[in-house]
Homo-oligomer: A and B are copies of this chain.
């Protein structure tokens, strides 16, 4: 399998430089000639939507996605409606920031009933699809690792994400493949093939051993056990040729100088992805 020859598809998911604000991250990408960036709403909020938009536009960077919508399940109807409303704000922000993709982290169950929570996810997505399509925003259902089932997402397999996405036209709802979340799945390659034409994002990092922490334990590509290139090839065979985001939650990496992280990220991308 051939390595990537250029970084033209590389995108910095700004959580990888967790201690940088949005200006730092944009400037860093420009400095390192990284063509794309994925933005997080809490970082956008720090300086406001209008200022964020100006910074991005001035930089010439492409915005690969906005993180994140989702969090649909809730105990009461009014709370579920609040979540829907927040998703609509996220869709507006995504459009304003010039990306076509909103990543959905679907949310945990509010109590022990996982099947009911999964229905709330399906229902929530159904409610926001017309709004998103009006703005030209694709919703990317991202299955999270099963270890986040209790706190972040009841959608934990690519199979579930595919089942949701298949209810809609590919330009409206797709799936996001993040290697950290799906690498363990015995059904992975079949599910990537099943997602053909519906993959709207591809995220890379690595699974390091020993794993230091559930949330902050991701590694730089090449430092772990994930067969990154094989997964990238499968995703390409499923017709995804879009941006490849590097998304690493890791306090040790956050505490390093951001420029070092970006430089390493570029070389590791070419070497391992």
**Which residues from chain A sit less than 8 Å from chain B, CB to CB?**
109, 111-114, 118, 145-147, 149-151, 156-157, 159-160, 183-186, 207, 209-211, 213-214, 224-227
Tell me which residues across on chain B come within 8 A of A211, comparing CB atoms.
147, 150-151, 214
5 contacts between A and B (CB under 8 A): A145-B147, A146-B147, A146-B185, A150-B207, A150-B225
CA gap between A207 and B146 in the complex, in Å: 12
For the complex of A and B, the 6 pairs showing the least CB-CB separation, nearest first, are A149-B184, A146-B184, A147-B147, A112-B227, A150-B225, A146-B146
A113-B227, A225-B112 are known contacts. Are A118 and B186 too (CB-CB below 8 A)? yes
Name the residue on B nearest A113 (C-beta). B227
Most B Cβ at <10 Å: residue of A145, A147, A211: A147
A112 to B183, CA, bound (A): 10
Are A160 and B147 closer than 8 Å at their CB atoms? no
Contact status B147-A210, CB under 8 Å? no
Distance A209 CA – B145 CA, assembled complex (angstroms): 16
Which chain B residues lie closer than 8 Å to A111 at the CB level? 225
Chain B residue at minimum C-beta to C-beta distance from A209: B150
B209 x A186 contact (CB < 8 A)? no
- Which of B113, B156, B224 touches A186 (beta carbons < 8 Å)? B156
| A147-B147, A151-B211 known; A112+B226 contact, CB < 8 A | yes
Report the minimal beta-carbon distance from A257 to chain B, rounded to whole angstroms: 29
Chain B residues within 8 Å of A146, by CB: 145-147, 184-185
In the complex, A211→B213 CA distance in Å? 10
Contacts of A160 in B (CB 8 A): 186
